[in-house]
A and B are shown apart, each in its own frame.
Chain A
Amino acid sequence: MEDHHDNHITSYAQNFKVLFVLLLLTISTILVVKLDLGIYTLAMALFLASVKTTIVLTYFMHLKGEKLILRLMVGGVFLLFAIIVIITFIDYYFR
């Protein structure tokens, strides 16, 4: 029903750029732990992990070239996951 024949071919140069950014972010994740930001360390590590995930999904998994509906569906999945985590931690906050 939904024919979709785009090939989403990306150049080696772009893939290497993305790889470089991912490596930088990985190093940053390690540095954040060394910096010891107190209670914000975990939040910062999670933020960096989220940015890396977004980049992987966008470029390596070709979401950039997909239809809006598919991108919304993937975004919806992460939103769902975030809500579930927040609800769980609300319990810990109020206990």
Chain B
Amino acid sequence: MNNQVSAEPLNYLNHKTGLWSWLTATDHKRIGLLYLYAITIFFLTAAVLGVLMKIEKSTIGPTIMTAQTYNALFTLHGIIMIFIVVIPGLAAVFGNICLPIMIGAKDVAFPKLNLFSFYVYITGACLGLYSQFANGHSPDAGWTFYVPYSAEVNSNIILALLAAFTLGFASILTGLNFIVTIHRMRAPGMTWFRMPLFPWSLYATAWIQLLATPVVGITLLMVIAERTLHVGFFDPKLGGDPVLYQHLFWIYSHPAVYVMILPAMGVVTEIFPTFSQKPVFGYLPIVFSSLAIALVGYFVWGHHMFTSGMSYESRWFFSFITFLVAIPSAIKVFNWLSTMYGGSVDLQPPLLYAISFIFLFTIGGFTGLTLGAVATDIHVHNTDFVVAHFHYIIFGGMGFGFFAAMHYWYPKIYGRMYHIKWANIAWGFLFTGFNILYFPMFVMGIQGMPRRYYDYDPKFQLGQTISSVGAVILFIGLIAMITNLVYHVRRGAKASANPWHGVTLEWQVPSPPPHENFDEIPVITREPYVFDNPYTKEK
């Protein structure tokens, strides 16, 4: 790797200085960084809560907290991780930082709306945190807010629902901004099928954000109306139907899983060609599989409700459609592996995370089939098996995708390089800790360990202890990774414009990029992954 110093005049980091310039920034890269810092803080907070929960469960009976505290902690962990970290995560951070550059634009279509989205996001996040401490109560209904419990319990549920509602608005606005940006602002010559695959994944994601999020917004408002005005939507006592809540909640929340995972798929699709120095295998199938996942993902929500009293006909229908989602997902995995096959593979930290993504996501995907089949889901529903599956998909998929993106675009974002060996060691801790933490939960789930339980039968003691040890190892890896990245923002060796020999547009501009990305908007004359590009060679 060549870390020569690029000619670095003014860039987006130093063209204006001072706190005010950051708080009022409309530059997409700065807004991306604002999201990154906010999300990192929330992620670490929720991760600490997760470790505390695992320490509590390392022994039978009370260890470090009461049952009510445990209930509040898993609710807070879920709300922060899902609504504040994972759903906005990759799209808000790396979508903002990279999308305009990758399509040859100077910024997103609506830069001020972009900043407004960030502040709506922060408002929602603060409301969510406030709901945990206001009036001496903490919501304890889990991140799913299932009625009738959430319609009856007195624990700041309305505040928490308002927080989720507000965060949904930020998500809708970001999705809208990205759709318009991709439609209207691609560089001359960048036809739809010359667009890199990360923007394609963001495009599919943005449609889900735009169309599915309002459903949960309305649903949450209906719960508030039920609690405050006693309108009978979901509460049987008022003539409502609790299963309707689950329908409405999952109509959004299942597509939301694809909001989380599709951008991560886009990230690794950028990483495999770069670190194999080989065109991506099956560009069009990857594009259409992203769109297919986004589309089919709308119709599978019922697989969360097989044990909720849904009709038999609906159960087999949702089960069948769920299996269909496996097809585009498998196409992607096949294409990623085929991209590396025969390539000049350079095992740098971004590729390590990307390969881990395939490994963990595949385990999550296969165990998802167990949950998608009615017959087996009946047995493992609401057990630790579901928690393990979910974390393999979301943390193993989106989380490791996020780490991959961070290590891939870090030199571009800061113009500095992190310590490679340190990054590899941190990855080792993360990958090992992850599997020790979550894999035993599959086994315990099959043995009947219910999810969200504070205490457990002695037969689960060994599994719970192993899982807790994994949590600590994982957390050490997290701290090591973040320390490496933060420490080298100012102290790292200066990175060149194209340290990984990438061929997409972001690698053709200086590191860090200038304020408006390009002096002249580039004219695109060919497909995005052509590796005879003279720019791939260091200047």
Q: B140-148, B306-314, B340-348, B351-359: which lies at the A interface?
A: B306-314
* Mask of B249-290 contacts with A, CB within 8 angstroms, 1/0: 001000000000000000000000000000000000000000
B224 at interface by CB-CB < 8 Å: no
Establish whether residues A94 and B298, one from each chain, have CB atoms under 8 Å apart when the complex forms: no
For chain A, what secondary structure do more than half of its interface residues adopt (helix, strand, loop), or is it mixed? helix
What 0/1 readout, one digit per residue, does chain A (73-92) give for beta carbons within 8 Å of chain B? 00001001101100110111
Partner among A1, A77, A90, A93 whose Cβ is within 8 Å of the Cβ of B186 = A1
Contact B311 A94 (CB under 8 A): yes
In the complex the two chains form, what is the Cα distance from A84 to B317 in whole Å? 13
In contact, A95 and B311 (Cβ under 8 angstroms) = yes
- The answer to the question of B62 belonging to the interface, with a C-beta cut-off of 8 Å to chain A, is no
Closest to A90 in B: B314
CA distance A92 to B211 in the complex (A): 24
Cβ proximity bits B295-337 to A, threshold 8 Å, 1 near / 0 not: 0001100100000011111100100000000000000000000
Distance (whole angstroms) from the CB of B244 to the closest CB of chain A: 8
> Given contacts A1-B187, A2-B183, A83-B299, is CB(A94)–CB(B313) below 8 Å?
yes
Chain B residue with the shortest CB-CB distance to A94 = B311
Q: How far is the CA of A95 from the CA of B244 in the complex (A)?
A: 12
Return the contact of B312 from the options A2, A87, A94 (Cβ within 8 A): A94
Q: How far, in angstroms, from A91 to B407 measured CA to CA in the complex?
A: 46
Q: Say whether, besides A83-B299, A87-B317, A2 and B247 are in contact (CB < 8 Å).
A: no
Taking A1-B190, A2-B183, A80-B211 as contacts, is the C-beta distance between A90 and B299 under 8 angstroms?
no
Could you say which interface size class chain B belongs to? 20 to 34
Q: Are A1 and B188 within 8 A (Cβ)?
A: yes
Q: Cβ of B184 < 8 Å from any Cβ of A? A: yes
B125 nearest CB across to chain A (Å): 29
**Chain B residues near A94 (CB, 8 Å)?**
311-314
Closest chain A residue, CB of each to CB of B187:
A1
Question: Chain B's interface: helix, strand, loop or mixed, by majority?
Answer: helix
B185 at the A interface (CB under 8 A): yes
CB-based nearest B residue for A87: B299
Q: Given the complex of chains A and B, what is the CA–CA distance between A92 and B313 in angstroms? A: 10
Tell me the smallest distance from the CB of A57 to a CB of chain B, in Å: 15
Which chain B residues lie closer than 8 Å to A1 at the CB level?
183-188, 190
Q: List B residues 186-206 near A (Cβ within 8 Å).
A: 186-188, 190
B251 x A90 contact (CB < 8 A): no
Instruction: Tell me which residues across on chain B come within 8 A of A87, comparing CB atoms.
Output: 299, 302, 314, 317
Most chain-B CB neighbours within 10 Å: which of A2, A88, A93? Answer: A88
Let me know if A91 and B190 touch, CB within 8 A. Answer: no
Partner of B298, one of A84, A90, A91, A92: A84
Q: How far is the CB of A91 from chain B (nearest CB, A)?
A: 4
- Cβ–Cβ < 8 Å partners of A80 in chain B: 211, 298
Say whether A84 contacts B314, CB under 8 Å: no
Q: How many residues of A contact B (CB 8 A)?
A: 15
Contacts of A84 in B (CB 8 A): 251, 298-299
Give every chain A residue within 8 A of B299 (Cβ-Cβ): 83-84, 87
A85 to B, closest residue via Cβ: B251
In the bound complex, what is the Cα–Cα distance between A88 and B309 (angstroms)? 13
Instruction: Choose from B183, B185, B211, B314 the contact partner of A91 (Cβ within 8 Å).
Output: B314
Give every chain B residue within 8 A of A83 (Cβ-Cβ).
298-299
Per the bound structure, the CA–CA distance linking A41 and B313 in Å amounts to 27
Chain A residue with the shortest CB-CB distance to B191: A1
In the assembled complex, the CB of A38 is this many whole angstroms from the nearest CB of chain B, namely 20
**A80-B298, A83-B299 known; A90-B313 Cβ under 8 A:** yes
Residue picked from A87, A90, A92, most chain B C-beta under 10 Å: A87
Chain A residues with Cβ below 8 Å from B187 are 1
A91 to B184, Cβ gap below 8 A?
A: no
Is there contact, CB below 8 Å, between B211 and A77?
yes
User: Which residues of chain A (61-81) have a CB below 8 Å from chain B?
Assistant: 77, 80-81
B311–A91 CB distance below 8 A = yes
CA distance A91 to B311 in the complex (A): 5
Q: How far is the CB of A82 from chain B (nearest CB, A)?
A: 12
State A95–B188 Cα separation when bound (angstroms).
55
Indicate whether A91 sits within 8 Å of B186 (C-beta atoms), given known contacts A80-B298, A84-B298.
Answer: no
Closest chain A CB from B521 CB (angstroms) = 10
Q: How far is the CB of A36 from chain B (nearest CB, A)?
A: 21
Once the chains are docked, how many angstroms separate the CA of A1 from the CA of B190? 8
Complex CA–CA separation, A88 to B183 (angstroms): 32
Cα-based distance from A87 to B188 in the complex (angstroms): 42
Cβ contacts under 8 Å, A90 to chain B: 311, 313-314, 317
Q: Which residue of B lies closest to A77 (CB)?
A: B211
Shortest distance between the CB of B173 and any CB in chain A (Å) = 17
- Complex: A16 Cα to B169 Cα, angstroms: 33
Chain A residue, CB-CB nearest to B309: A95
Report yes or no: A91 in contact with B302, Cβ–Cβ below 8 A: yes
* CB-defined contacts of B184 to chain A, threshold 8 Å: 1-2
Nearest chain A residue, comparing its CB with the CB of B105 = A1
CB distance from B95 to the nearest CB of A (A): 18
* Closest Cβ–Cβ distance, residue B176 to chain A (whole Å): 13
- B→A interface (CB under 8 Å): 183-188, 190, 211, 243-244, 247, 251, 298-299, 302, 309-314, 317
10 tightest A-B CB contacts, nearest first: A1-B186, A94-B311, A91-B314, A94-B313, A95-B311, A91-B311, A88-B247, A91-B310, A2-B184, A84-B251
13 A-B pairs within 8 Å (CB atoms) are namely: A77-B211, A81-B211, A83-B299, A84-B299, A87-B314, A88-B251, A90-B317, A91-B313, A91-B314, A92-B311, A94-B311, A95-B310, A95-B311
